[in-house]
């Protein structure tokens, strides 16, 4: 449950039009192996199984979709120029658990008192970076902490086969994206999407897009990734206002639509795709009232 106080704070930071949840789409050669990693090792909850794709709920309004790269929009060879930050209150527990498994590390846990945030970065089975992170009470986080503090953590579901301890959860996510022109990217997310900047780290910024979902544009080369023209990720927003978003983004010169209309796919999802100023794929999805979507719509609070 999202608390009333959090809802009031979130209402003041709503984007131009409603977004229900965030989702990052990752592309794999070996989808079965990736699925086992996220479900059995990390304990994430499988919300929907589409065969070609596995949709995991990571936090209240944060999702991750694993896609078979042989039929997806991106190939598994494209640079994985994205990082998903998994924000958690159990950072030390995650570090202890994951280091016992000897997973490959991009950046180790290096706690220093007084820092605005602490964390470490592991590498998933096909090279995507996952940053386990804790934002701390700090002047830099003055606008962020009131959004994070009331959020519930999402823990491994009871009965799921996983080695992840039941007390290790995730309460929010940041999708870090890497840009040559950070100021242009920040204007795009603020002006085109109507998002509110809640953190400015100089080389990176953070904008809320749903109660537990955040977008983080980063200056390429100063974060975990350099700039790349191709990017092996699609950023998806779940919405009940896909037509309104399409009409709005038709008028925005810095968003390049990839279709002339909203498309119906699988008889159950209405969506459209566009490109941001530096070529990231941005998708909007509306899960219509259809028997295929009954469980997911209930999960998303659409019923």
What does the pLDDT look like over 196-236, one tens digit per residue?
999 999 999 999 999 999 999 999 999 999 999 999 999 99
CA distance 237 to 23: 6
What does the pLDDT look like over 256-296, one tens digit per residue?
999 999 999 999 999 999 999 999 999 999 999 999 999 99
What does the pLDDT look like over 4-53, one tens digit per residue?
445 545 565 678 789 999 999 999 999 999 999 999 999 999 999 999 99
Note the pLDDT of residue 1: 45
Answer yes or no: are the C-beta atoms of 64 and 58 closer than 8 Å.
yes
The architecture (CATH level 2) of 4-299 comes to Roll (3.10)
Per domain, the residue ranges of the chain are: 4-299
**Average per-residue pLDDT in the chain?**
95
Terminus-to-terminus CA distance in the chain, angstroms?
Answer: 15
Residue 274's closest CA among 240, 244, 239, 249? 249
């Amino acid at each position: 449950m999202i608390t009333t106080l959090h809802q009031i704070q979130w209402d003041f930071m709503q984007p131009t039009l409603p977004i229900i949840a965030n989702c990052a789409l990752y592309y794999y050669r070996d989808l079965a192996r990736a699925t086992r990693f996220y479900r059995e090792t990390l304990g994430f909850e499988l919300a929907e199984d589409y065969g070609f794709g596995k949709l995991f709920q990571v936090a209240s309004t944060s999702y991750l979709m694993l896609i078979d790269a042989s039929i997806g929009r991106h190939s598994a060879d494209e640079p994985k120029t994205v990082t998903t930050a998994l924000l958690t209150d159990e950072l030390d527990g995650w570090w202890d658990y994951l280091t016992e498994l000897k997973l490959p590390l991009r950046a180790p846990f290096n706690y220093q008192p007084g820092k605005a945030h602490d964390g470490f970065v592991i590498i998933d089975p096909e090279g995507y970076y996952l940053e386990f992170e804790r934002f701390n009470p700090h002047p830099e986080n003055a606008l962020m902490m009131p959004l994070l503090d009331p959020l519930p953590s999402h823990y491994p579901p009871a009965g799921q086969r996983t080695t992840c301890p039941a007390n290790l959860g995730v309460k929010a996510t940041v999708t870090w994206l890497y840009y040559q022109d950070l100021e242009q990217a920040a204007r795009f997310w603020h002006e085109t999407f109507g998002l509110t900047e809640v953190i400015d780290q100089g080389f990176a910024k953070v904008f809320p897009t749903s109660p537990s979902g955040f977008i983080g544009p980063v200056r390429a080369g100063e974060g975990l990734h350099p700039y790349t023209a191709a990017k092996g990720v699609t950023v998806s927003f779940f919405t009940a206002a896909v037509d309104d978003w399409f009409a709005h983004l038709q008028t925005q010169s810095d968003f390049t639509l990839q279709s002339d209309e909203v498309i119906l796919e699988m008889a159950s999802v209405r969506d459209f795709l566009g490109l941001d100023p530096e070529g990231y794929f941005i998708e909007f999805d509306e899960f219509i009232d259809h028997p295929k979507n009954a469980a997911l719509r209930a999960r998303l609070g659409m019923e």
